[in-house]
Structure formats: structure tokens, C-alpha cells
Structure 1
């Protein structure tokens, strides 16, 4: 099985399970996990970036959070 076969199989599985995946991405569990991951990533970014970037980091964190979970 070549890489193209693997990619095509992945696409097929995604299409077959699109509704389930969409439901999981917008679940309470996904919201909890994404909040923890995004908080950690934002905290790390704030530690290494200059303080002047904090507002932009918070803005990007909020946009990412809106894409996953139910809030």
C-alpha cells in the first residue's frame, strides 16, 4: 500500500464519518481538551514572546477556541 492509497483511504473514512467527527469536534469533551491545550500554548507563547504580543496571542487563542468545542 503506497502513500496515495493511505491518503485516499483516510479521505474515504473521513467522508463516511463526517457527521460523527463534526459532532465530536463540537462536544463538551472537545471543549475541555481544547481549552487546556490552547491555554498551555498561549501561556508558552506569552513566555517566549515580548509582552507587547500578549493581546495578539489572546486574540488568536480565542479564534482557535471558537473552531473547536461547543462554546
Structure 2
């Protein structure tokens, strides 16, 4: 089985389960998990980056959060 076969199987899986995947991605549990991960990542970046980037970090975090969960 080559790489193309694996990619094609992945595409087929996504197409067959598109509705369920969309449902899971936009669930309350996905929102909770994504909030925890995004908050931790944003806090880490704020600790290592200069303070002048804090607002941008928050902006990016909010944009990503809007795309995941509810």
C-alpha cells in the first residue's frame, strides 16, 4: 500500500463520515477541550513572547476558538 492509497482511504473516510465529524467538531465537548488547549497555548506564548504581542495572541486565539466547538 502506497502513500496515495492511504491518502485516498483517508479522503473516503472523511467523505463517508462528514456529517458525524462535523457534529463532533461542533459539540460542547470539543468546545471545552479546545478552550482548554487554546488557553494553555495562548498563556505559554504570552510568557515567552514580549508583552507587545499579547493582544495579537488573544486575537488569534479567539479566531481559532470561533472555528472549533459551539
The reply to whether residue 47 of structure 1 matches residue 43 of structure 2 is no
Gaps of 5+ in 2: none
Deviating above 4 A after TM superposition, structure 1's stretches of 4 or more consecutive aligned residues are none
Aligned twin of 2:15: 15
TM-score by length of 2: 0.98
**Structure 1 segment 32-43 matched on structure 2, within 5 A:** 32-43=32-43
**Count of aligned positions:** 70
TM-score by length of 1: 0.97
Gaps of 5+ in 1: none
Residues 44-68 of structure 1 deviation map (CA, whole Å, 9 limit, x = unaligned): 1101110000000000000000000
CA distance in 2 between partners of 1:60 and 1:31 (Å): 16
